Amino acid sequence: MYPFRQGSFAPKNCWYVVANRQDVGRELLGRTVVNTPLVIWRTQGGEAVVLDGRCPHRHFPLAKSQLEGDTVRCGYHGFVFDASGQCVEVPSQDHAPRACRVRRYPALEHGLWLWVWVGDEDKADPALLPPLSEIGLEGEGLTGTPLIRREAACRYQLLNDNLFDLSHLAFLHGSSIGTRENASTPEELVKRPGFVSSIRRIRDAPVPATMWQAMDGYDRIDRAMGMHSYLPGFHAGTTEIAIPASHPTRGGERLMWNRVYHCITPCTPRTTLYHFAVAVAPGVDTAALKVALDPVIDEDVFASEEIEKIIALYDGDPPPELMVKSDTNAVEGRRMIQAMMDAESQGG
């Protein structure tokens, strides 16, 4: 499906953020990842468990069921599954059949998130997770905090595309976090397998509306805005703000440094789970940041959902897009994700 080849929806042999770690506890969570219903909880020993969320008896959602110790009891006919997914009790008979089990999915707590792998289990390699040192959750003195979670009524790639091309900050977010320089400044691009990134180093330019308070009175700043995308759906952004080099005494001094994280997880072909988090220096008020950034994420979801509606007018097959230079990462990122899907369908 657009923008991928017909029949291509989303790769499965990859790690997706399925929840914030802090939200995984002693209440059952329900999520859908690439059309797979999941149930998630934390055992009494503290381990995060992700099982297939469909009771194999009658398809009832285990996420709408009951947690009992380290097991989940289906809310319909009471079948009990342990943390390995094995059914250990069928209340209407003495023994639970061995064949009664649900799949347990590889899941890892890493950074602020619980990640799940819904593809081939033997390919689930922790080394494929974004390194914490690379994404600024280790070694930079920043503290990470999950801020926002949304379910968007659009295909996931529209939210990826949004992040592959940050020139949209100048317009979609022109009244909040962007200025015209977010579009006009040239990008420095990097790509490697499964990864694309972009940095714009904006020099001696106006301060975006939402950042005034942190600017210490300066009304022109240097701003380096980066986005580092770990395919298929994790985007680590960087913001570094400094006093312009031309300043007689303080030129180059850093005023602000933070990280943002956009986790884009395909649920169904036209719905997407969106986790947004930040990592900030000591003393930064993340509650205020949430107030400032909530409407920004709303704008991204709005744009993506509007595009989904336009696509629907063309029965999901819109006319070809016109690509420009700032689409380099979108073109490259889509190509890599398509290649992941192609490899899977060829059993690769």
Q: Does 268 bind its own copies (CB under 8 A)?
A: yes
5, 44, 59, 69: which one contacts its own copies (CB under 8 A)?
A: 59
**Strand, helix or coil for residue 114:** strand
Q: Which residue lies nearer to its own copies by CB, 144 or 208?
A: 208
With respect to its own copies, which residue has the nearer C-beta, 3 or 130?
A: 3
Give the range of 7-15, 67-75, 109-117, 148-156 binding its own copies by CB under 8 A: 67-75
How many beta carbons lie within 10 A of that of residue 37, not counting itself? 18
- Non-local (6+) Cβ contacts of 239 within 8 A are 223, 224, 225, 226, 256, 257, 258, 259, 260
Q: How far is the CB of 175 from its own copies (least distance, A)?
A: 11
Using CB atoms within 10 A of its CB, is residue 44 exposed (0-12), middle (13-18) or buried (19+)?
exposed
The residue type at 250: R
Question: How far apart, in whole angstroms, are the C-alpha atoms of residue 131 and residue 268?
Answer: 28
Q: Is 195 in the site for its own copies (CB under 8 A)?
A: no
Q: Supply the DSSP string of 233-287, one letter for each residue.
A: TEEEEEEEEE--TT-TTTTT-EEEEEEEEEEEEEEETTEEEEEEEEEE-TT--HH
Confirm or reject binding of residue 92 to its own copies (CB under 8 A).
yes
Of the pair 10, 135, the CB lying nearest its own copies is at 10
57 binds its own copies (CB under 8 A): yes
67 near its own copies, judged by CB under 8 A: no
Q: Is residue 9 involved in binding its own copies (CB under 8 A)? A: no
Contact 33, 18 (CB under 8 A): yes
The residue within the footprint of its own copies, chosen from 11, 61, 111, 146 (CB under 8 A), is: 61
Among 145, 157, 160, 167, contact with its own copies (rule: CB under 8 A): 167
Instruction: Indicate the burial class of 87 (C-beta count within 10 angstroms; 0-12, 13-18, 19 or more).
Output: buried
Residue 271 interacts with its own copies (CB under 8 A): yes or no? no
Binding mask 216-255 for its own copies (x = CB under 8 A): ----------------------------------------
Nearer to its own copies, 95 or 192 (CB): 95
| Contact letters for its own copies, residues 313-332 (x by CB under 8 A) | xx---xx-xxxxxxx-----
Q: Which of residues 147-166 bind its own copies (CB under 8 A)?
A: 161, 165
Tell me the CA end-to-end span of the chain in Å, nearest whole number.
21
> From the CB of 197, what's the least distance to its own copies, in Å?
17
Distance between CA atoms of 310 and 108, rounded to whole angstroms? 37
* 264 binds its own copies, rule: CB under 8 A: no
Q: Which residues bind its own copies (CB under 8 A)?
A: 32, 35-37, 53-54, 56-61, 64, 73-78, 90-93, 97, 99-100, 161, 165, 167-168, 170-172, 180, 183-184, 268, 303, 306-307, 309-311, 313-314, 318-319, 321-327
